Structure 1
Amino acid sequence: MRIRALLAVTALAATTALAGCSGDTGGLTTDTTQAGDTSVTEAPQAERAPAPACNPRASLRPAATLPTPGDMPAGSYMEEIQKRGRLVLGTSQDTLLFSSRNPFTGQIEGFDVDMGRQIAEAIFGDADKIQIKVIAYDKRVSSAADGSVDIVADTMTANCDRWRDVNFSSIYYEAGQKVLVSKDSKAKSIEDLGGKKVCSAAGSTSFENIGKVRSKPVAVAKPAFGDCLVAFQRNEVDGISTDDTILAGMAAQDPYAKVIGDKFTEEPYAMAMSNKHPEFARFVNAVLERNRADGTWKSTYERWLGDFGAAPAPPKAQYK
């Protein structure tokens, strides 16, 4: 308990330090938002009717060729971004390996950030012409839909409900949900946590999936996964459930935690954009097509996720 309590204090201090950083140095700038209350709460129930069935992996077909960087088509949203001088990327700052702040450089970095940087490079010919805006998990859809950011890359699952509000890119990463517990836990899967408190980020599909488990774990919502890790280390919750890649990053931060069970969901990650600019989604998909073909996706995987083993084949694009 004393060790776990010490870890909780350390994690809380790290979370506080992250929230206190006002910006990055160099070309990569950050607008940091506060996560809000971290008390144990139940997430609100969705109020609107279920979305019609769809293929959430199917995005808008890209154009055959990409425009030259620095010369975006007249009247396009890419030209608007080019005139502004920077791409605004919405993401998190506490998802290790995908989008987290490097404590030594102050930069937010990871697989998702590199996805955004590759779009900036395609627009400007310079990956550093990007502004990172830290957004809460439950603001990912609204931030893309209302134009607060140009694009969201934040371990975000494409699903039919979200397609009603935003356009998604083609899938750039295939994840699946698992659960993290204490190393001394006898649980083998999330089904063994019936009646136990299991934490996930408010507004995430991971939170919704906990409520679908037959053994009825008690789903606990927190503003961000970093807050879930603090609650776990304080023994306020018995486990954390989200995508396997996010949990791997958490386990790397807590030597007294382990990830258990097989994937019990499919979580296809895609980038989200306003549906007012379909040409931008087609442009993003063309960049992803090129990066799958020329090895950029593979090198990005190896840089951030190579410890999980050899890079798999990138997800194959599907189009409407």
Structure 2
Amino acid sequence: MALATAIGVTAGCSSAALPTPPGTAASEGGAGSESIEQILADAPVADPADLPAGSRMATIKQAGTLRVGGTTTAALFSLKDPITGKTTGFDAYLAQLLAKYITGTPSVELVQVTAQTRELLLQNGTVDAVLATYTITPARAEKINFAGPYFNSGTSILVKKSETTITSPSDLAGRTVVTQSNSTAVNTLEQLVPDAKLLLLETNDQCVQALRQGRADAYVLDQAILVGNAERDPQVKIVGQPFTEDPYGIGLPPGDAQFKTFVNGWLTKLIDAGLWDRVWKASVGTAIEGEPPAPPVIGSAAGS
């Protein structure tokens, strides 16, 4: 069964949001999508004048590799193939495009991050950027910089395929709900369903396993992540409507306004050249039918 046409999380909002799926992902949505190599061939490279000496951009170019904090377990966004060793998905492809823009080649060093380590790795200089379905919030923006937003998602509910009694946040009252520690879903659940029993785990895979094993009645997180889970696991499904708006941003080191402006300028070029749409079709669009939604307005999220 195909997913519904992509819609904004907020009524009347034209944004890059995932759809509200009826349960299973489209099995043929990606037929004919182009490869990341084809997209990279058309991707821009920064003018040398935009990489002034002493800037973070110049340092990255000299190193020849962009160090990106990310994950390898988020289907449709950043998932590593154990056979080929390649990491595919929306975030993974954006990382390659940004690397090419700065260095001239799509050379990315992927550093595994979790919801608990993203800010720390940016603060201590371990990574140059974080692309990991990273929701922009004012609180996080006090610790790091955000470019974007580049994608909009919304908090949703994942349950076992056999589950019929959970369709909305109110149905989670008194239930055990798993989510990732330090995710925005923790505060959302505490506010909307204060009597839910929270099970906090570190990774997406651990949360899905807890749901499948019956240690949790539902898994609540960004719809973008949950759609990927439903795409690759026939034992789970998404229910109900997204009930928050979660704008994804590119996490950047704090205190470097020049680098933030540079990355926002690159995002604008991608959108204007139609490359954002092509990346969407080659990743998220392989599971969702229809044309890409409109990208969110850069700088439109509180904290961006």
TM-based fold match above 0.5:
yes
Q: In structure 2, do the counterparts of structure 1 residues 67 and 181 end up closer, same or farther at CA, with 3 Å as the change threshold?
A: closer
TM normalised by structure 2 equals 0.80
Structure 1 contact 69–121 (Cα < 8 Å) conserved: no
Partner of 1:172: 150
CA contact (8 A) 1:193 1:217 kept: yes
Q: Which amino acid aligns with 1:197?
A: T
Which position in structure 2 is the counterpart of 1:139? 117
Q: Deviations over 1:261-306 (max 9, x none)?
A: 1111110000011123221111111110000100110001011111
* Alpha-carbon distance change, 162 to 71 in structure 1, aligned in 2, over 3 angstroms: closer
Q: Which runs of 4+ in 1 moved over 6 A?
A: none
CA-to-aligned-CA distance 1:192-249 (integer Å, 9 cap, x gap): 0211111111111122212122363212111101100111111111111111111111
Deviates most, 107-116 or 173-182 = 107-116
Unpaired stretches in structure 1, ≥5 consecutive residues: 1-64
CA distance in 2 between counterparts of 1:166 and 1:270 reads: 11
Q: Counterparts of 2:268 and 2:282 in 1: how far apart (Å)?
A: 19
1:299 to 278, 282, 291: 278
Q: Which has the higher contact order (CA 8 A, sep 6+)?
A: 2
Deviation at 1:252, TM superposition (A): 1.9
Match of 1:183 among 161, 172, 188: 161
- Out of 174, 181, 194, the residue aligned to residue 202 of structure 1 is 181
Give me the whole-angstrom Cα distance separating, in 2, the residues matched to 1:87 and 1:93.
17
Pairwise CA RMSD of aligned residues? Answer: 1.9
Instruction: Tell me the amino acid that sits aligned with residue 316 of structure 1.
Output: V
Q: Give yes or no for the alignment of 1:160 onto 2:141.
A: no
Q: Which of the residues 86, 95, 98 maps onto 1:107?
A: 86
Residue 149 of structure 1 and its aligned partner are, at CA, apart by: 0.4
Residue of structure 1 in register with 2:241 after alignment: 262
Deviation at 1:82, TM superposition (A): 1.2
CA distance in 2, matches of 1:126, 1:303: 20
Q: Is the 8 A contact 2:45 2:104 kept in 1?
A: no
Output aligned runs, 1:267-282, within 5 Å.
267-282=246-261
Q: Which residue of 1 aligns with 2:204?
A: 225
Looking at structure 1, the residues matched to 97 and 235 of structure 2 have their Cα atoms a distance apart, in angstroms, of: 36
Aligned positions of 1:1-320 closer than 5 A:
67-68=46-47, 72-127=51-106, 129-185=107-163, 186-214=165-193, 216-306=195-285, 307-309=287-289, 310-318=291-299
Query: What's the secondary structure of 1:191's corresponding residue?
Result: helix
Q: 1:25 maps to which residue?
A: none
- Does structure 2 retain, via aligned residues, the 8 Å contact 1:243–1:267? yes
Between the aligned residues of both structures, percent identity stands at 29
Shift of 1:77: 0.6
Distance 1:174 1:71 in 2: 28
Partners of 1:288 and 1:72 in 2: how far apart? 16
- Whole-Å separation in 1 of the counterparts to 2:283 and 2:176: 31
Q: CA deviation at 1:130?
A: 1.3
TM-score by length of 1: 0.76
Aligned length: 255
Sort the Cα spacing of 1:250 and 1:176 in 2 relative to 1 into closer, same or farther, 3 A. Answer: same
Give the deviation of 1:109 after TM superposition. 2.1
Is the CA contact 2:88–2:283 (under 8 Å) kept in the aligned structure 1? no
